[in-house]
């Protein structure tokens, strides 16, 4: 094994054979895509500390990823891609800051803490304390000066690197609406001179609800990807888990933080069993429960108990629902009446069309398909569910159980029109085909 250095000064691990021939472009493209999924937030958070300008930082980071395609093809994929990308983005940012230093004096910029280290040391600090920088970026995006929708949307866009279309799907709104919302949020951050820092212990609780909403949406987006070939985006679920653990370490007595971590752990514990060997999506009734992560379930249940002390919030209640599923020995042992009862409490704490949909499904499982279909019918005029594929899919399930095959098939076809994830489409297609047989 030989060592070589690329232009950023970071080491690349390259075999002797690889030094004599170029890395296949397809392999490099895959490495760049993986680095984008896993390292985007790290690289952007560090670059923002140099530019103090979100748009300029994004431009520099995008340029670093574009350069990676050429340099890694020629020199090999670095042993530490995040270090390579951070250094390239940082150097590009420093060049632009120096070049436009006069003009930038007239622009509204993010301000930093008085105790923030020198710009020259920022990249090094980011590589050794990545979670802090990531949280710094989230807290900036979740500043009270921004609306809740803008806080969540901007953080998903910047911290997660989600496309505007993916963020729009998470919010059940159109892409143009979301693009305008994100642009306005970034402009407000700059104009309001919002600090680029992690709030102190006294200030953080006031910001926590917005931050938790961001982390929860990040997890749900990864748990069932809005689009693409795979059902799960593991990079997003793992990032959300890391952030939830970090928040719990900062605020261990906060029941909402504890509830969110419990919810993520209990839900993610089923990950390995949610798809078959060929990537086919499996229903809860079809999953091999021996593949559920029992260590995560044990940790999650302990956290649920702590979070339910006092007045439970929405995350604690959702975690309690996940715990009921986790504790059932088999699908037939699921306590659906308890789950429906928990949804009755949740919808009072957190009235939401999606919660109402989940409650309707639980009612149908507890009381029969007629009751479930009736509850779903009440939601048919809800505007936020008009483009939500899970509503017609749930209707199709209960219609099929009632023997109303033609209506069930039409409902599955409607769900397919509203679904872009390949694994979910294959699942719905298979269910519709079963009705045909």
Q: What angle do CA 58, 59, 65 make, to 5 degrees?
A: 90
Q: How many residues does the chain have?
A: 437
Q: Which residue has the tokens 């920088």?
A: 133
Give the distance, in angstroms, between the CA of residue 419 and the centroid of all CA atoms in the same chain.
Answer: 18
- pLDDT tens-digit map of 72-89: 998 899 999 999 999 999
Angle at which helices 119-128 and 81-99 cross, to 10°:
160
Tokens in use for 312? 């439970």
Q: Please check whether residue 36 is in contact with residue 65, taking contact to mean a CB–CB distance below 8 angstroms.
A: yes
Of the pLDDT bands very low, low, confident and very high (cuts 50, 70, 90), residue 126 is: very low
Of the pLDDT bands very low, low, confident and very high (cuts 50, 70, 90), residue 105 is: low
Q: Among 419, 417, 426, 416, which residue's Cα sits nearest to residue 280? A: 426
Q: What is the pLDDT of residue 321?
A: 98
pLDDT higher than 90, residue 41 = no
Q: What is the pLDDT of residue 290?
A: 96
Helices (H) and strands (E) in the chain, counts: 20, 4
- pLDDT tens-digit map of 331-357: 999 999 999 999 999 999 999 999 999
CA separation for the pair 169, 59 (Å, rounded): 24
Give the distance, in angstroms, between the CA of residue 214 and the centroid of all CA atoms in the same chain.
Answer: 8
Task: Annotate 62-88 with DSSP letters as a single string.
Answer: HHHHHHHHHHHHHH---SSHHHHHHHH
Across residues 210-215, what is the average pLDDT?
88
CA separation for the pair 270, 255 (Å, rounded): 23
CA separation for the pair 95, 275 (Å, rounded): 47
Q: Which helix (H) or strand (E) holds 119?
A: helix 119-128
Q: Please check whether residue 126 is in contact with residue 158, taking contact to mean a CB–CB distance below 8 angstroms.
A: no
Q: Among 294, 328, 296, 324, which residue's Cα sits nearest to residue 308? A: 324
CA separation for the pair 353, 343 (Å, rounded): 12
Q: What is the pLDDT of residue 60?
A: 93
Nearest 5°: phi and psi at 310? Answer: 85, -150
Q: Among 167, 187, 189, which residue's Cα sits nearest to residue 178? A: 167
- pLDDT tens-digit map of 238-260: 888 988 998 888 788 899 999 99
pLDDT higher than 80, residue 151 = yes
CA separation for the pair 129, 126 (Å, rounded): 5
Q: What is the pLDDT of residue 104?
A: 52
Name the β-bridge partners of 5.
11
Mean pLDDT computed over every residue of the chain: 84
pLDDT higher than 80, residue 102 = no
Q: What is the pLDDT of residue 436?
A: 72
Tally Cβ neighbours within 10 Å of residue 173: 16
β-pairing, 420-421 with 11-14? Answer: unpaired
pTM over 0.75: no
- pLDDT tens-digit map of 274-323: 999 888 899 999 999 999 999 999 999 999 999 999 889 999 999 999 99
């Amino acid at each position: 094994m030989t060592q070589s250095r690329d232009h950023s000064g970071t080491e690349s691990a390259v075999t002797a054979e690889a030094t004599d021939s170029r890395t296949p472009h397809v392999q490099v493209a895959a490495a760049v895509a993986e680095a984008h999924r896993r390292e985007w937030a790290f690289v952007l958070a560090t670059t923002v500390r140099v530019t103090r300008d979100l748009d300029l930082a994004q431009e520099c980071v995008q340029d670093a990823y574009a350069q990676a395609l050429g340099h890694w093809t020629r020199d090999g994929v670095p042993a530490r891609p995040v270090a390579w990308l951070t250094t390239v983005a940082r150097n590009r940012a420093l060049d632009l800051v120096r070049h436009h230093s006069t003009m930038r004096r007239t622009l509204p910029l993010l301000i930093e803490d008085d105790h923030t280290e020198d710009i020259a040391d920022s990249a090094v600090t980011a590589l050794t304390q990545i979670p802090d920088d990531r949280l710094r970026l989230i807290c900036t995006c979740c500043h009270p000066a921004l609306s809740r929708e803008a806080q969540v949307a901007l953080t998903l866009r910047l911290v997660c690197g989600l496309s505007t279309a993916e963020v729009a799907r998470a919010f059940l709104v159109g892409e143009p609406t979301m693009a305008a919302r994100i642009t306005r949020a970034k402009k407000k951050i700059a104009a309001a001179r919002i600090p680029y820092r992690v709030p102190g212990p006294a200030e953080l609780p006031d910001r926590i609800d917005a931050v938790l909403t961001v982390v929860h949406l990040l997890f749900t987006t990864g748990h069932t990807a809005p689009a693409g070939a795979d059902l799960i985006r593991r990079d997003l679920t793992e990032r959300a888990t890391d952030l939830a653990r970090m928040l719990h370490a900062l605020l261990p007595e906060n029941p909402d933080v504890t509830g969110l971590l419990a919810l993520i752990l209990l839900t993610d514990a089923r990950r390995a069993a949610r798809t078959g060997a060929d990537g086919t999506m499996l229903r809860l009734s079809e999953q091999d429960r021996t593949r559920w992560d029992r260590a995560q379930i044990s940790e999650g249940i302990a956290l649920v108990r702590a979070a339910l002390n006092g007045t439970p919030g929405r995350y604690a209640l959702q975690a309690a629902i996940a715990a009921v599923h986790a504790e059932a020995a088999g699908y037939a042992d699921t306590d659906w009446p308890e789950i429906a009862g928990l949804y009755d409490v949740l919808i009072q704490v957190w009235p939401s069309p999606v919660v109402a949909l989940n409650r309707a499904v639980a009612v149908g499982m507890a009381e029969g398909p007629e009751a479930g279909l009736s509850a779903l019918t009440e939601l048919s005029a809800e505007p936020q569910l008009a483009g939500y594929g899970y509503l017609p899919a749930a209707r199709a399930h209960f219609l099929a159980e009632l023997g109303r095959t033609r209506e069930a098939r039409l409902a599955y076809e409607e769900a397919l029109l509203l679904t872009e994830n390949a694994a979910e489409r294959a699942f719905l297609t298979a269910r519709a085909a079963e009705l045909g047989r």
